[in-house]
A and B are shown apart, each in its own frame.
Chain A
Amino acid sequence: GNSVTQMEGPVTLSEEAFLTINCTYTATGYPSLFWYVQYPGEGLQLLLKATKADDKGSNKGFEATYRKETTSFHLEKGSVQVSDSAVYFCALSEGFTGNQFYFGTGTSLTVIP
């Protein structure tokens, strides 16, 4: 079956620190991979995505590379800001006949000044 495992939180970092949130997946086919972010009091929104192996998704200084050989899609940012404080969700979709997404449990990030 399909599943996503991501690093448990919460994670607390100082401003300008390097961020890595680990995500690994299990899939029966060739999924697309996503990172969603949920800011306090807001709905989930797409942060970045990659649709095939070796693709790199990037947005707002965040990056993640689709690694088929290690079934991973780790999220990284070189220098976090206070405004990056949020919950981050890794997800996969393999729905050739639909939009069923599988989400990780989320990683809460707090960035302190």
Chain B
Amino acid sequence: KAGVTQTPRYLIKTRGQQVTLSCSPISGHRSVSWYQQTPGQGLQFLFEYFSETQRNKGNFPGRFSGRQFSNSRSEMNVSTLELGDSALYLCASSSRQGNTGELFFGEGSRLTVL
């Protein structure tokens, strides 16, 4: 069974640009979550989608947005990039709706903002 796939793996942008990251969950998983990982802050929750609906949202500005498609694939977008947005963005999928479900992570998309 294929794991969680994230693209692109690495990207470099400049301040003010926007970026779109893509995530394909494990087949059959309907929940997709996004996390930002930085050395100082650890993993910070961005948002979660289930069946194309955003169920939870973390404490990030409106420049961070996401969506989920009918095939459960998800994208996240960051507009008007800032230097502080440089991070590893992790996508995770889950088959469970409740809180006992395991998250399966992709390898991440590493964004560098210059």
B15 at the interface (CB under 8 A from A): no
**B55-A44 in contact (CB<8A):** no
| Distance of A68 Cα from B44 Cα, bound (Å) | 24
Contact at A98–B100, with CB atoms within 8 Å?
A: no
Q: Flag if B99 contacts A93 (CB, 8 Å).
A: yes
Interface size class of A (residues with CB under 8 A): 20 to 34
Binds A, one of B63-71, B72-80, B102-110: B102-110
A68-113 contacts to B (CB < 8 Å): 89, 91, 93-106
* 21 A-B pairs in the complex with CB atoms less than 8 angstroms apart: A44-B103, A45-B104, A46-B102, A46-B104, A51-B100, A89-B42, A93-B99, A95-B48, A95-B98, A95-B99, A96-B99, A97-B55, A98-B31, A99-B48, A99-B55, A99-B92, A99-B96, A99-B97, A99-B99, A104-B42, A105-B41
Contact A45 B56 (CB under 8 A): no
List residues of chain A with CB within 8 A of the CB of B92. 44, 99
B26 interface contact, C-beta 8 A: no
- In angstroms, how far is the closest chain A Cβ from the Cβ of B24? 14
- How far is B45's CA from A104's CA once the two chains are assembled, in angstroms? 12
Whether the Cβ atoms of B90 and A95 lie closer than 8 Å is no
Which of A34, A46, A49, A99 touches B31 (beta carbons < 8 Å)? A99
Residue of B nearest to A100 (CB): B56
